[in-house]
Amino acid sequence: MSEPNCPECSGQYTYVDGINYVCPECAHEWSVDSEDISERTVTDANGNVLSTGDTVTVIKDLKIKGSSSVVKVGTKIKCGRIDTDAKDHEIDCKVAGVGAMKITARFTKKA
């Protein structure tokens, strides 16, 4: 049996160490007994599952990196794409007056 690729970095050099798989590239460890990794879901601040095309409302003023602009509380945004593999900034969207950007789902609520 061949060891699976690392679920964190997709590294191919994983090995078994006792009861865990170990990735030497990113040092991630996970259980040998664990089931296949289920598809990750992206949820808003209230725990609602988000999907592509949903409309969300910003619940906190978000500073835009590298700019003096801010996305204000209450701004409605349509989710262009939900990136389930991202650790942060899961929502790809276009914000009126700002343009294309990525937003962290925990700062939104489903409208």
Is the whole-model pTM more than 0.75?
Answer: no
pLDDT band at 1 (very low <50, low <70, confident <90, very high): low
Mean pLDDT over 69-92 rounds to 91
Task: Return the closest-CA partner of residue 45 out of 89, 87, 104.
Answer: 104
Q: Would you put residue 44 in left (φ > 0), alpha (ψ -120 to 50) or beta?
A: beta
CA angle 84, 56, 82 (to 5 degrees): 15
Q: What is the tens place of the pLDDT at every residue in 6-44?
A: 888 888 889 988 888 899 999 888 887 764 445 578 899
Give all domains of the chain, ordered by start, each with its CATH number: 1-38 (2.20.25.10), 55-110 (2.30.30.40)
**Alpha carbon 90 to chain centroid, angstroms:** 4
Residue with more model confidence, 1 or 103: 103
pLDDT band at 91 (very low <50, low <70, confident <90, very high): very high
| Cα(106)–Cα(34) distance, integer angstroms | 27
Residue 78: per-residue pLDDT? 94
What token pair was written down for 57? 């409302």
Q: What is the tens place of the pLDDT at every residue in 34-68?
A: 644 455 788 999 999 999 999 999 999 999 988 89
The tally of CA atoms less than 13 A away on the side-chain side of residue 105 is: 27
